[in-house]
Structures are given as C-alpha cells and as structure tokens.
Amino acid sequence: MDSSAGRIVIGLISGTSADAVEAAACRVWGTGVTARLELLGHVSAPLPRAVRERIWSASTAEALSLLNVELGEHFARAAEAVLRHAGLDARDVAAVGSHGQTVAHQKGATLQLGEASVIAERLGCPVVCDFRVRDVAAGGQGAPLVPYADWVLFRAQGRVRALQNIGGIANVSVVSERLEDTLAFDTGPGNMLLDALVRRHTRGARTYDDGGRLAARGTVDAPLLRELCRLPALKRKPPRSFGRVEFGEALADALWRKHRRRPLDLLATITAYTVEATAQAYRRFILPGRELEGVWLSGGGSRNPLLVDGLRKALAPLPVHPLDSLGFPEGAKEAACFALLASEHLAGTPQNVPSATGARRPVVLGKLVPG
C-alpha cells in the first residue's frame, strides 16, 4: 500500500445504551505523534428493539453466545453501509476496528460482543477487535480508550482542552501537547441510567428522553439528588471507569421501585445528577492546577438541551461548546476512535494511555482476525 495515500480503516461501536451501531470510514496517515485522520463517511445503523432488549437482559452463556453472533451480523451490515455511503469497496479497506457492544465492565474484567469473525467473513478484510482486554492484562481498567484519539484529533499547541463525552457513561479527556500529560477518566452517569428509567416510564415506547422534554416537565428532588451524589463510585479517584454495575439496570430498578409514582420528577433528578456528577469531577480532579481553554461536548447527551444548559451553568465561567465547532461531527467521534486504534494496531504502536487506564505500561491493543 502506498503510505502517502494513508490506509482506509472502518471503525465500529455500539455504545453503552445500545441504540445503534456507529460506523465511520476513515483515512489514516502516520502513527503516534505524526498520526492524522480524515473522516470519509459516517452512518448510524439502529439496532432492532428486540436486540436491544436482549443486550440489556442477556445473562446466560447460551444467550450471550447467540447474541455475540447476531451482533456480529449487525456490525458487518453497518460496515457495509458506511462503505456504500463513502463510495468505497471492501477491497480498499486495510482493517475494520470493531469495539463491539459492552455487556460487562468491571475492575479486572471486560466483555464486548459482536463476533469479529463474522465481520471478517462478510467483508473479506481483517478485523481488529477486543481492544480493552490487553490493557486489563497490563493492570489497567480497559477504559477509557478514547483519550488517544482525542489527543490525535483535538490537541492544540499551547492549549489544554477538555473533551467531554456523554454516552451511556460520561467520560472526559483533558488533552494538551504531550500524550503522557493526558488526564482521562469516567466522570459518572451519562445516558444509561436516564434511558433505563425512560423505558420504564413509557413501558418501552421510548428509549431515551428526546430533547430532555420529559425531564423538563418534572421537578428535581433535592434530597434524592444529594443521596445519589454521596454514592461511593463518585468518590473514587482517577484512574477510574464505570459501567452497568454502577449505573445500570440494578440502580434503575431500585430508583423506579421507590419513586415510580413521581416519574417525571425522577427523570428531572437523574438529569440533574448527570450534570452534578460531571461538574463534581471537574471541581475535584481537573480544574485544580489547570487552565482549560474550554469544554467540548459529544455523545447522545450533548443533544439534550436540558443537560447541556445544566452543564453550562454548573461549569461557568468555563466555556462549553459542541464538538462540531472543532470541525469534527460528534456523532462519528467514537467510531473514528476505533478506526484510529485499529490503524495503530497494524502499525504496532501502543494506543492505551496508562495515566488514564492505570495500566503498568503502554501496550498495543486489540486482536487481529484475518480477512
């Protein structure tokens, strides 16, 4: 392959909320400090409701193994869709980087589904998968992994920037000129807990609070908000990562049983909790000793005006911007991250950030399935 032309890589991910498979077609040049990425195309392929429900409920080995293969088919179709969208052929692709669908994540173990062999068989090109487990083997938490891409894509000379993602779990990357100076960790709940409560309130008719309209009709329960902010998870110092254990179905069930008679107030309170947990993380771990240029938002939560307005007020006078203002579409960011990580796997360049994950050393992430 002509190195001056870069390599074409497809990135795939289904977020913690399991709404859709995000697929990004990218061209990547260089590696490490010289790496550059151009987005060629992005599609969002919604997952069927029945599949989403199995993701939330699968608990047996049989259910997980069947789901693994089925999700592989959905990921392959998303990859094919983004190739058509970008006017590319699978023969142009150096590799697919598939994060998969996280079904379990805790200290010392992590599990993503979406069988890479299925993707490789359908597309006929190599697939890099299971990015998190090598970092875990090296003593890290396997998350967050987006800081490397945040540093490649959004660092600026002489500036310190916070890239705040509000996906199922909210996480931040604080990037400057040197990768080793990156601070990154999960700030707390994102959309996962709120989405779970929306499903309960609407009996599955809605999967998220579109525009924050439901929460806007409620009133924040101040005592409940204080109780949530005292949960032990938010007191942990970075490096830290969260998942369904902290903010998944178990917590949603407990909250729903106790507060279901005031559902809109509960949604308003959980929205406020997401805001306060994020602001608390900034006050404790980011702002002391750092002068930030600003905060740039991405993820599904960045499209919730109630949540964004709350963050702007909570973080003032720090400027809060949409990620798109940096010239990169926020919806494509996470998928592009795994395209970049796959490219770096092919180059043999470590892609984890030990200061973020707690790993003992930089390691090359991912497993390669031949095409």
Q: What is the pLDDT of residue 56?
A: 83
Provide the token pair at 87: 């006017």
Give the pLDDT mean for 220-234: 96
Please compute the mean of the pLDDT values over residues 314-340 and round it to a whole number.
97
Tens digit of each residue's pLDDT (9 = 90 or more) over 96-109: 999 999 998 887 88
Mean pLDDT of 70-78: 98
Query: What rounded mean pLDDT belongs to the chain?
Result: 95
Instruction: Please say whether the beta carbons of 10 and 185 come within 8 A.
Output: no
Q: Three-class SS of residue 171?
A: strand
- Residue 124 pairs in a beta bridge with none
Task: Confirm whether 3-144+331-369 and 147-318 share one CATH topology.
Answer: yes
329 closest CA partner among 21, 18, 26: 26
Q: Please report which residue ranges of the chain form alpha helices under DSSP H.
A: 49-57, 61-86, 116-123, 132-137, 147-154, 192-201, 213-216, 222-229, 244-247, 249-259, 263-281, 305-315, 333-347, 354-357
Quick one: pLDDT at residue 104? 87
Predicted pLDDT of residue 97: 98
**Residue-wise pLDDT tens digits, 9-51:** 999 999 766 789 999 999 999 999 999 999 999 999 999 989 9
Instruction: Tell me what pLDDT residue 14 has.
Output: 94
Q: In whole angstroms, what separates CA 147 from the centre of its chain?
A: 11
Q: Judge whether residue 3 has pLDDT over 90.
A: no
- What contacts 210, CB < 8 A, 6 or more positions away? none
The amino acid sitting at 10 is I
Q: Minimal CA–CA distance to 112: which of 365, 332, 350, 298?
A: 365
- What radius of gyration, in Å, describes the C-alpha atoms of the chain? 20
**What is the CATH topology of the domain spanning 147-318?**
Nucleotidyltransferase; domain 5 (3.30.420)
Dihedral sign (CA 164, 167, 170, 175)? negative
Predicted pLDDT of residue 2: 46
Q: What is the per-residue pLDDT across 164-207, written as a single tens digit (0 to 9) for each?
A: 999 999 999 999 999 999 999 999 999 999 999 999 999 989 98
Domain ranges of the chain: 3-144+331-369, 147-318
Average pLDDT on 112-132 reads 98
Choosing among 3.40.720.10, 2.170.120.12, 3.30.420.40, 3.90.79.10, the CATH entry for 3-144+331-369 is 3.30.420.40
pLDDT of residue 1: 43
CA gap 150, 94 in Å, rounded: 22
Is the model's pTM score more than 0.85? yes
Q: What is the pLDDT of residue 12?
A: 98
Q: Give the Cα separation of 347 and 6 in Å (integer).
A: 12
Kindly tell me if the per-residue pLDDT of 301 is higher than 70.
yes
pLDDT tens readout for residues 133-173 = 999 999 999 999 999 999 999 999 999 999 999 999 999 99
% the chain with pLDDT above 90: 91
pLDDT at res. 4: 67
